[in-house]
């Protein structure tokens, strides 16, 4: 862009209170120029979504109150407008896109009606005109067959398609600004790339400013011109994306950037973490809110810091930014990763899956043919003792079902699961029960994976009691304390109920429960996916430490490629129930062979604007096919960039292309 | 739209005297109805000692006399004191209401939980049975049970009547508990318990049941109100409690209808008693639900 | 569509058969049958021979299975047998009373919908205000006050102030529409009040849920005026669950008007049912129960068809 763009939005000293005292947004200010993209990043509870909603005056009625602030947009103060004037502005000058595409469209109104509604209200277009414009809009957001699709209802669209419809609604009246609140968080990574590329492209072509609210630093690096970092209801740092990523001037930003696992770097060190938890906003510290967790905190941090301009041209709310800039205070380098207990001549095999398949019947009813979902199809894998096998894939690829099969929560339709050479599925019940102790689980959702009616202590103690691992209440209590200590929880947590703990603490309890069984193999089913970046780092480090100390083997199921790269020794990529590629961690990321793996790695943004500038993301087209009717032949051929006619007919078997590197694709040539 | 409306700060000075105090503080209406319930229970228990007259004593000198200081709620066509009969009626209402609601809800809960836990054919069979029972209107099903069981008074309480009221409750409660149990069963902590290899009975008793207590209690209070209402209805129809046992519904039937133009107190006071009891249990149930399950609160 | 309805009708058969079996056999467990009740009522001592003769006449001497199969065979030709009390065909007895009950149920349903929709909507939109509390009081009253008691109070007032007495027999709406209306409006209002309380509470909570939905926020973000958000986007979704309640409550009213018919002296199927229970008139009880069950399953079907018509997410499958 040439020439300074005019300022479009200026937010000054915006504060929003909940329930009288709790300030969810506290003195936030930023500006957005016409046509630029501002990313607001922060972890959950940082106030970024409340900020977005309050700009639109969309806070739930009677809940939020504007305590102070000005929001100047195009010469008007939005907080002074009457409700009627505000309605005129919404959807016409400022549009908003939300996180949940599945629930953000009215289920009983047609897509066409919902796109045409703002056209009718704001532009006064009549039936035929509005329809013509709606067709045009659907074309713009890449939905083909627009005429027909206008008359369909939201449930006939996939999540990604619904988000495109939301964008079409947003674009309807040629707004000057679009606010997108976590627009792709609920979507798979390939779809995320499609949607964000579309938004970026439209914003450039139509000169629309974009406020992108997100927790994903990779997205920020790829798409934002400028960044504002929020922590505990305040902005702690802002500036151009290049400056904030390359030369952060606030310890929180620095910590955040260092605690994200990196997709683009081989792992050498433990993840740096930000210790502790964000403050409770109802009694936030009066000074710098990050001070209790800050490695550089000094006495003067008890005074509230102000945003001051730094050498990078940005703003930082740290008393010591000059020292950071001068390099006189620096972060402690992260410790090296704990050594793994891997045997020198390759690990001994502990788990082996042979041609494992699982199908589910759905929609059974009188006089109806049930549909068959092939959740897991002919999967063969082997896991070595002490290693971590990462299992990645998009939703519906069968990775969680595979985990449940190993855990014995589902019975396989065919195939075998051998643990230490013994087939679990064929074992007699007593034997199975014994084997089960060796294979434990850590679940994704720390909120629902703990029984709300049991205390932390009794949750951890239960397996000791049931299996008689410790005799007597005293010995058990001792062991519970030991286990809690092992996962980094204080002994007095044993008295508490799960709802009294934070998400990260709950996940630690889940780990302690698994450890109580003294297992040898742990299935981590999206074990860190629901956690914020800073907490996620803590848990990953904990898992790695435990693995080294106890010689555990992990099956680490996740959709986040960077996390998997960081924690795994080998990685398997799944798509529609089948394994596409298996290889050593660094090999698969450095030299992916399967076209799906390539697409997946391309779609995931890396938290570094310099790298992102040089990457031209290859966008895979289309949606995931329904697992009810997977494509014939290679299941990926419908979206594959290199597929030919041949791929429709052949189901490719995984072949060892390089030593230890398997890929299920007929187009991949054997390499030395 | 009031974008800037402020929410009243709640629980600023939260009292510290335990769960009961917290309940009273958060749910004042519920606490008030609880007091009404306690008063009715006491009236029922202490009826012979607190009522001014013998509920069965006939006084031909005071037939159909209007409310006065002697007879607070007047007398009926036999000269019996209406107020005393209302107090004794509380005993009937409470015994039948509580026991049939307990019976119906517990039966329904067991059926619903079993249906959810065993799934498959057991579930299908139980659900078909529940479907059949649900096809009967509440009163009709109760009356059919009355017709089937006849009268079986034990110590003045008609056991058949208790069943007649309990049975229609069973299918309705089982539906709700089944849904709740299915939700609990799908929770990852149940998967974790299965992964740990715990026995079915441990999973049911230790992990599922405690999480079903809340919906069960909520259903129980709600159905006590229903049971009291149903008992009054059946007695009113002459198919519930039999004369001369004092019961609120019974007091509204028979000759009350013949005399109610000249002696409206015969209709007004027992009706108030029924309404008060049902309202109290209803409001208490609502308050209990809001208190125990804040997610349902609106 | 036709295929779907046919399948649904087929699926009704097991439920109805279950109702039939359950009612029939449970009733036969009863000690004492209609014969005793009937003959005793005529006065005191009856010879065992007379009782036996009467039992043979009514077919009660056959085995239960034979009796049941006889009954089932009749049902397929719409012959529900004769009343054991009056001797008249059950179907005819029911038919002569059905219209009264049906009219009262229909009127009550209409009244309930007209009261409940505004009440429920208002209390949800003005949640926590005085208006909401007033509605709450009204609906709690509807749930808690016994309808026979309200009915008696209404009658009391009518007698006192309007000197109106409920007519002894049913006034046909075709012969005397006004007379029919004045006869039916009061019981319908009493029943409709209770019905409306159930419905209003449902609409309130359903509307509150819908108002929290993401798509309502989307509509507001589009700049849709507040009024349109409520009427077009929220209320339509919120009223969907009300369809089930209206349909099923209507079905239940056909059997559930028992008490109101008693109070207002309406000679409907409810009153017939009470008499049948009092007389141990098995054939009549069976016939009535079967009718209630058929109405219930039909109402279920109609509710589902309405959903398929108004909710685009639901299609006949």
Walk me through the domains of chain C, giving residue ranges and CATH numbers: 2-90 (no CATH), 98-310 (1.10.3720.10)
Q: What is the mean pLDDT of residues C201-218?
A: 92
Domains and CATH numbers, chain B: 27-56+73-296 (1.10.3720.10)
- Please check whether residue B144 touches C, CB under 8 A: yes
The least confident of A140-154, B184-198, B207-221, C171-185 is C171-185
Question: Which chain B residues have a beta carbon less than 8 Å from that of C248?
Answer: none
Strand partners, A374: A359
The residue of chain C nearest to residue B261, with distances taken between CA atoms, is: C156
> pLDDT tens for residues A409-428?
889 999 999 998 888 888 88
CA distance C125 to A62: 12
Q: Is residue A74 part of a domain?
A: no
Question: Which chain A residues have a beta carbon less than 8 Å from that of B4?
Answer: 65-66
Count the helices and strands in chain C (H runs, E runs).
Answer: 14, 0
Q: What is the mean pLDDT of residues A355-382?
A: 81
Q: Which of A147, A172, A197 represents a domain boundary (last residue)?
A: A172
Question: What pLDDT does B14 receive?
Answer: 44
Residue with tokens 């015969």: B266
Chains touching B, CB cut-off 8 Å, 3+ pairs: A, C
Task: Work out the minimum CA distance from B57 to partner chain C, whole angstroms.
Answer: 25
**Where in the sequence is the domain holding A121, given as residue range(s)?**
104-172
User: Does pLDDT of C189 surpass 90?
Assistant: yes
How many residues does the structure list for chain B?
A: 298
Q: Is residue A224 part of a domain?
A: no
Question: What pLDDT does A170 receive?
Answer: 92
The least confident of A32-46, A57-71, A559-573 is A57-71
Candidates A57, A61, A443; nearest CB to B188: A443
Q: Which of A142, A172, A202 represents a domain boundary (last residue)?
A: A172
CB-CB under 8 Å, A106 with C218: yes
Q: Which of A114, A145, A172 represents a domain boundary (last residue)?
A: A172
Q: Convert B2-39 to b/e letters by CB count within 10 Å (16 or more is b).
A: ebeeeeeeeeeeeeeeeeeeebbebbeebbebbebbee
For A322, list phi and psi in degrees, rounded to 5.
-65, -40
Residue from A336, A330, A332 nearest A248 by CA: A330
Q: Is residue A648 part of a domain?
A: yes
Question: What pLDDT does C42 receive?
Answer: 56
List the single best residue of A63, A451, A509, A518 to mutate versus B (max B Cβ within 10 A).
A451
CA distance C150 to A483: 65
CA distance C270 to C291: 12
The least confident of A214-223, A629-638, B44-53, C42-51 is C42-51
CA distance B76 to B53: 13
Question: Which chain B residues have a beta carbon less than 8 Å from that of C211?
Answer: none
CA distance A539 to A566: 13
Q: Percent of chain B at pLDDT above 70?
A: 88
Q: Is residue A355 part of a domain?
A: no
Answer yes or no: are the C-beta atoms of A485 and A438 closer than 8 Å.
Answer: no
- Please check whether residue A421 touches C, CB under 8 A: no
The residue of chain C nearest to residue B147, with distances taken between CA atoms, is: C277
Residue with tokens 């009706």: B271
Answer yes or no: are the C-beta atoms of A400 and A423 closer than 8 Å.
Answer: no
Question: What pLDDT does C40 receive?
Answer: 61
CB-CB under 8 Å, A61 with B5: yes
Answer yes or no: are the C-beta atoms of A106 and A154 closer than 8 Å.
Answer: yes
Candidates B135, B282, B298; nearest CB to C293: B135
On average, the pLDDT of chain A sits at: 87
Task: Work out the minimum CA distance from A212 to partner chain C, whole angstroms.
Answer: 16
Question: What pLDDT does C41 receive?
Answer: 56
Answer yes or no: are the C-beta atoms of A196 and A209 closer than 8 Å.
Answer: no
Answer yes or no: are the C-beta atoms of A361 and A372 closer than 8 Å.
Answer: yes
Q: How is residue A598 written in tokens?
A: 């390539």
User: Does pLDDT of B7 surpass 80?
Assistant: no
Q: Is residue A142 part of a domain?
A: yes
On average, the pLDDT of chain B sits at: 81
**Max CA pair span of chain B:** 77
Give the DSSP letter of residue B56: T
Q: What is the mean pLDDT of residues B154-169?
A: 83
- Please check whether residue B36 touches C, CB under 8 A: no
Q: What is the dihedral of CA C2, C3, C6, C7, to 10 degrees?
A: -150
Tell me the CATH number at A631. Answer: 3.40.50.300
Residue from C257, C282, C285, C203 nearest C35 by CA: C282
Confidence of residue B170 (pLDDT cuts 50, 70, 90): very high
Query: B292 or A30: which carries more pLDDT confidence?
Result: A30
Candidates C7, C222, C312; nearest CB to A90: C222
CA distance C291 to C310: 28
Q: Is residue A567 part of a domain?
A: yes
Candidates C23, C156, C274; nearest CB to B260: C156
Q: Cα–chain-centroid distance for residue B223? A: 4
User: Does pLDDT of A153 surpass 50?
Assistant: yes
The least confident of A663-667, B189-193, C163-167 is C163-167
Question: What pLDDT does A250 receive?
Answer: 93
Confidence of residue B13 (pLDDT cuts 50, 70, 90): very low
Question: What pLDDT does B294 receive?
Answer: 52
Confidence of residue A366 (pLDDT cuts 50, 70, 90): low
CA distance B274 to B280: 10
Q: Is residue A620 part of a domain?
A: yes
User: Does pLDDT of A6 surpass 60?
Assistant: yes
- Please check whether residue A56 touches C, CB under 8 A: yes
Between residues 219 and 238 of chain C, which touch chain A (CB distance below 8 Å)? 219-226, 232-233, 236-237
Residue with tokens 């981590």: A524
Question: What pLDDT does B297 receive?
Answer: 38
Candidates A62, A450, A454; nearest CB to B7: A62
Q: What is the mean pLDDT of residues A491-512?
A: 90
For C273, list phi and psi in degrees, rounded to 5.
-65, -45
Residue from A574, A564, A573 nearest A375 by CA: A574
Answer yes or no: are the C-beta atoms of A187 and A160 closer than 8 Å.
Answer: yes
A27: part of which helix (H) or strand (E)? strand A22-33
Question: Which chain A residues have a beta carbon less than 8 Å from that of C310?
Answer: 108
E strand segments, A313-466: 315-316, 349-362, 371-384, 388-392, 414-419, 422-423, 439-442
Confidence of residue B101 (pLDDT cuts 50, 70, 90): very high
Q: Is residue A108 part of a domain?
A: yes
Question: What pLDDT does B10 receive?
Answer: 36
CB-CB under 8 Å, C222 with A368: no
The least confident of A559-573, B58-72, B168-182 is B58-72
Cβ-based burial of A549 (10 A; exposed 0-12, middle 13-18, buried ≥19)? exposed
Q: How many beta-carbon contacts under 8 Å exist across A and B? A: 88
Confidence of residue B8 (pLDDT cuts 50, 70, 90): very low
For A340, list phi and psi in degrees, rounded to 5.
-95, 150
CB-CB under 8 Å, C222 with A118: yes
CA distance A349 to A382: 7
- Please check whether residue A176 touches C, CB under 8 A: no
Cβ-based burial of C44 (10 A; exposed 0-12, middle 13-18, buried ≥19)? exposed
Q: How many domains does chain A have?
A: 2
Chains touching C, CB cut-off 8 Å, 3+ pairs: A, B
User: Does pLDDT of A239 surpass 90?
Assistant: yes
Give pTM, 2 decimals.
Answer: 0.85
Task: Work out the minimum CA distance from A86 to partner chain C, whole angstroms.
Answer: 8
Question: Which chain A residues have a beta carbon less than 8 Å from that of B192?
Answer: 441, 443, 449, 510, 513
CA distance A554 to A573: 16
Candidates A19, A440, A451; nearest CB to B9: A19
User: Does pLDDT of C58 surpass 90?
Assistant: no
Question: Which chain B residues have a beta carbon less than 8 Å from that of A432?
Answer: 197
The residue of chain A nearest to residue B197, with distances taken between CA atoms, is: A433
Confidence of residue A340 (pLDDT cuts 50, 70, 90): low
* Alpha-carbon dihedral sign for residues A350, A356, A362, A367: negative
CB-CB under 8 Å, B195 with A407: yes
CA distance A234 to A278: 12
């Amino acid at each position: 862009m040439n020439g300074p763009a005019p300022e479009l939005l200026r937010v000054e000293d915006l504060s929003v209170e909940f329930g009288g005292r709790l300030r969810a947004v506290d003195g936030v200010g930023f500006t957005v120029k016409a046509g630029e993209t501002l990313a607001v990043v922060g972890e959950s509870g940082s106030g970024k979504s409340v900020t977005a909603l309050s700009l639109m005056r969309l806070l739930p009625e009677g809940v939020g109150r504007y305590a102070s602030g000005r929001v100047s947009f195009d010469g008007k103060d939005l907080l002074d407008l009457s409700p009627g004037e505000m309605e005129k502005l919404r959807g016409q000058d400022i549009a908003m896109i939300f996180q949940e595409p599945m629930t953000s469209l009215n289920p009983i109104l047609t897509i066409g009606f919902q796109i045409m509604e703002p056209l009718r209200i704001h532009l006064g277009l009549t039936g035929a005109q509005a329809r013509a414009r709606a067709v045009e809009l659907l074309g713009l957001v890449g939905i083909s067959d627009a005429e027909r699709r206008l008359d369909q209802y939201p449930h006939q669209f996939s999540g990604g398609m619904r988000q495109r419809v939301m964008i079409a609604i947003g674009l309807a009246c040629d707004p000057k600004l679009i606010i997108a609140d976590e627009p792709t968080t609920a979507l798979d990574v390939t779809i995320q790339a499609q949607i964000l590329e579309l938004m970026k492209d439209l914003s450039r072509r139509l000169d629309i400013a974009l406020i992108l609210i997100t927790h994903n630093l990779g997205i920020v690096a790829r798409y934002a011109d400028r960044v504002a970092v929020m922590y505990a209801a305040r902005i702690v740092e802002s500036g151009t994306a290049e400056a904030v990523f390359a030369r952060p001037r606030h310890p929180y930003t620095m910590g955040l950037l260092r605690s994200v696992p990196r997709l683009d770097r081989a792992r050498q060190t433990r993840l740096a973490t930000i210790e502790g938890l964000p403050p409770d906003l109802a009694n936030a510290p009066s000074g710098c809110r990050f001070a209790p967790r800050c490695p550089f905190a000094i006495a003067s941090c008890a005074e509230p810091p102000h945003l001051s301009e730094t050498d990078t041209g940005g703003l930082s709310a740290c008393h010591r930014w000059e020292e950071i800039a001068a390099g006189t205070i620096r972060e402690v380098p992260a410790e090296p990763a704990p050594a793994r207990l891997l045997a020198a001549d390759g690990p001994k095999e502990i788990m082996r899956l042979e041609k494992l398949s699982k199908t589910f019947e759905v929609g059974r009813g009188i006089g109806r043919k049930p549909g068959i979902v092939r959740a897991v199809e002919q999967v063969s894998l082997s896991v070595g003792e002490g290693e971590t096998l990462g299992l990645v894939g998009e939703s519906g690829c069968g990775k969680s079902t595979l985990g449940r099969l190993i855990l014995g929560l589902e019975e396989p339709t065919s195939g075998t699961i051998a643990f230490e050479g013994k087939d679990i599925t064929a074992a007699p019940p007593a034997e199975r029960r014994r084997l089960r102790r060796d294979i434990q689980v850590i679940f994704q959702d720390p909120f629902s994976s703990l029984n709300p009616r049991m205390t932390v202590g009794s949750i951890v103690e239960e397996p000791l009691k049931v299996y008689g691992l410790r005799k007597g209440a005293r010995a058990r209590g001792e062991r519970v304390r030991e286990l809690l200590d092992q996962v980094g929880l204080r002994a007095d947590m044993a008295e508490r109920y799960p709802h009294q703990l934070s998400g990260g603490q709950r996940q630690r309890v889940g780990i302690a429960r698994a450890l109580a069984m003294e297992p040898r193999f742990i299935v981590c089913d999206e074990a860190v996916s629901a956690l914020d970046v800073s907490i996620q780092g803590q848990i990953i480090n904990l898992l790695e430490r435990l693995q080294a100390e106890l010689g555990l083997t992990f099956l680490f199921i996740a959709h986040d490629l960077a996390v998997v790269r960081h924690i795994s020794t080998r990685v398997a990529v799944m798509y529609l129930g089948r394994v596409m590629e298996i290889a050593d961690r660094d090999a698969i990321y450095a030299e992916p062979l399967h076209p799906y793996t390539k697409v997946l790695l391309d779609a995931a943004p890396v938290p570094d604007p310099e790298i992102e500038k040089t990457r031209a993301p290859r966008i895979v087209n289309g949606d995931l096919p329904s697992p009810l009717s997977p494509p014939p032949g290679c299941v990926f051929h419908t979206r594959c960039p290199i597929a030919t006619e041949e791929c429709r007919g052949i189901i490719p078997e995984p072949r060892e292309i390089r030593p230890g590197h398997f890929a299920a694709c007929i187009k991949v040539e054997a390499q030395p | 739209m009031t974008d800037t409306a402020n929410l009243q700060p709640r629980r600023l000075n939260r009292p510290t005297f335990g769960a009961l105090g917290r309940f009273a503080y958060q749910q004042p209406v519920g606490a008030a109805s609880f007091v009404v319930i306690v008063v009715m229970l006491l009236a029922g228990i202490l009826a012979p000692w607190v009522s001014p007259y013998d509920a069965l004593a006939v006084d031909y000198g005071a037939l159909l006399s209007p409310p006065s200081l002697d007879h607070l709620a007047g007398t009926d066509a036999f000269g019996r004191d209406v107020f005393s009969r209302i107090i004794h009626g509380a005993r009937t209402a409470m015994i039948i209401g509580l026991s049939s609601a307990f019976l119906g809800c517990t039966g329904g809960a067991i059926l619903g939980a079993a249906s959810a836990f065993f799934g498959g054919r057991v579930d299908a069979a139980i659900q078909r049975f529940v479907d059949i029972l649900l096809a009967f209107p509440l009163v009709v099903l109760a009356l059919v049970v009355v017709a089937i069981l006849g009268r079986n008074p034990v110590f003045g309480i008609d056991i058949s009547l208790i069943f007649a009221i309990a049975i229609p409750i069973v299918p309705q409660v089982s539906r709700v508990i089944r849904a709740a149990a299915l939700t609990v069963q799908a929770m990852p902590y149940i998967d974790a318990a299965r992964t740990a290899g715990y026995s079915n009975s441990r999973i049911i008793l230790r992990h599922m049941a405690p999480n079903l207590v809340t919906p069960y209690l909520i259903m129980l209070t709600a159905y006590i109100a229903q049971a009291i209402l149903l008992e009054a209805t059946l007695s009113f129809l002459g198919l519930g409690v039999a004369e001369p046992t004092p019961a609120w519904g019974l007091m509204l039937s028979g000759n009350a209808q013949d005399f109610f133009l000249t002696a409206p107190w015969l209709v007004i006071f027992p009706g108030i008693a029924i309404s008060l009891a049902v309202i109290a249990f209803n409001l208490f149930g609502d308050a209990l639900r809001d208190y125990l399950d804040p997610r349902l609160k609106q | 569509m036709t295929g779907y309805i046919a399948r649904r009708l087929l699926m009704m058969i097991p439920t109805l058969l279950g109702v039939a079996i359950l009612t029939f056999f449970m009733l036969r467990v009863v000690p004492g049958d209609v014969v005793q009740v009937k003959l005793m009522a005529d006065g005191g001592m009856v010879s065992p021979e007379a009782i036996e003769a009467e039992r043979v006449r009514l077919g009660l001497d056959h085995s239960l299975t034979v009796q049941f199969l006889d009954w089932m065979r009749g049902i397929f030709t719409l012959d529900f047998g004769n009343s054991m009390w009056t001797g008249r065909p059950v179907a005819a007895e029911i038919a002569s009373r059905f219209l009264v009950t049906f009219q009262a149920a229909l009127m009550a349903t209409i009244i309930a919908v007209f009261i409940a929709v505004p009440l429920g909507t208002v209390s949800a939109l003005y949640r926590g205000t005085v208006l909401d509390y007033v509605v709450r009081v009204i609906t709690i009253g509807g749930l808690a006050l016994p309808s026979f008691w309200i009915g008696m109070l209404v009658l009391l007032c009518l007698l006192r102030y309007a000197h109106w007495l409920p007519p002894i027999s049913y006034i046909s709406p075709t012969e005397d529409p006004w007379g029919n209306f004045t006869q039916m409006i009061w019981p319908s209002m009493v029943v409709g009040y209770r019905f409306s309380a159930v419905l209003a509470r449902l609409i309130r909570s359903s509307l509150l849920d819908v108002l929290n939905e993401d798509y309502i926020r989307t509509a507001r973000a589009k700049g849709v005026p507040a009024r349109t958000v409520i009427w077009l986007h929220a209320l339509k979704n919120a009223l969907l669950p009300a369809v089930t309640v209206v349909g099923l409550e209507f079905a239940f009213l056909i059997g559930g008007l028992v008490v109101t018919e008693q109070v207002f002296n309406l000679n409907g199927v409810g009153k017939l049912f009470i008499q049948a229970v009092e007389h141990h008139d098995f054939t009549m009880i069976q016939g009535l129960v079967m009718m209630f069950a058929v109405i219930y399953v039909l109402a279920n079907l109609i509710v589902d068809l309405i959903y398929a018509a108004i909710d685009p997410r639901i299609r006949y499958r």
